[in-house]
Amino acid sequence: MRAIHVFRRLRRDRPWQGFAAGLVLFAVASTLRLFLGGLSEGFGPMTFLPAILLAGLLGGIQVGLAIATLCVFVGWAWFFPPYGTFTLASRDVITMAIFIVTAGLELYVIRMLRLAIDDLAVARERSNTLFRELQHRVANNLQFVAAFLYLSKKTLETDSAGAQALELARSRLDLMARVHRRLHDPSAVDLPVARYLRQLCADLIKASGKPGIRLAVEAPPAAEFDLETLMSVSLIVAELVTNSLKHAFHCRSEGTIAIRLDENRLAYTLTVADDGCGLPASFGQNKSESLGQGILQSLASQLGGQISFECGQGTIARLVFRSNRTTPCPTQGESRCNDQSEAHCDFNR
pLDDT tens per residue across span 177-235: 777 777 767 777 788 889 989 988 888 888 777 888 999 999 988 888 887 888 888 88
Beta strand extents in 170-297 (DSSP E only): 213-218, 255-263, 267-274
Last residue of a domain, one of 122, 145, 178: 122
Mean pLDDT, rounded, of the chain: 77
Tell me if 310 sits within 8 A of 318, measured CB to CB.
yes
Burial 291-312 (b: 16+ CB within 10 A, else e): eebeebbebbbbbbbbbbbbbe
Residue 214 shares a structural domain with residue 349: yes
Distance between CA atoms of residues 201 and 218, nearest Å: 13
**The domain boundary residue, chosen from 57, 88, 122:** 122
Q: Is residue 202 part of a domain?
A: no
CATH code for position 262 = 3.30.565.10
- DSSP code at position 79: S
Structural domain contains residue 249 = yes
Q: Does 106 map to a domain?
A: yes
DSSP string, 117-132: HHHHHHHHHHHHHHHH
**Residue 323 in domain:** yes
Picking from 72, 92, 122, the residue at the C-terminal end of a domain is 122
CA gap 128, 123 in Å, rounded = 9
Residue 280 covered by a domain:
yes
**What number is the average pLDDT over the span 56-61?**
86
Do 106 and 232 belong together in one domain?
no
Reported as a single tens digit per residue, the pLDDT across 279-300 is: 766 666 555 446 677 878 888 8
Q: Tens digit of pLDDT for each residue in 230-278?
A: 888 888 888 898 888 888 887 777 889 999 999 887 889 999 999 888 7
* Residue span of the structural domain in which 109 resides: 2-122
- Count of structural domains, the chain: 2
d(CA 36, CA 251): 81
- Using CA atoms, how far apart are residues 227 and 274, in angstroms rounded to an integer? 27
CA separation for the pair 301, 232 (Å, rounded): 10
Query: Are the C-beta atoms of residues 309 and 283 closer than 8 Å to each other?
Result: yes
Residue 322's DSSP bridge partners are 267
Q: Is residue 177, in this structure, part of any structural domain at all?
A: no
- Tell me, yes or no, whether 220 and 330 share the same domain: yes
Asked if residue 205 is part of any domain, the answer here is: no
Q: Mark whether 117 and 216 lie in a shared domain.
A: no
Let me know whether 218 and 327 are in one domain.
yes
* φ, ψ for residue 318, nearest 5 deg: -130, 125
Q: Is 134 exposed, middle or buried (0-12, 13-18, 19+ CB in 10 A)?
A: exposed
CA–CA distance, 154 with 147 (Å, rounded to integer): 11
**What pLDDT is stored for residue 11 in this prediction?**
57
Mean pLDDT of 45-59: 87
pLDDT at 104: 92
The reply to whether 10 and 107 lie within a common domain is: yes
Tell me whether residue 147 is in a domain. no
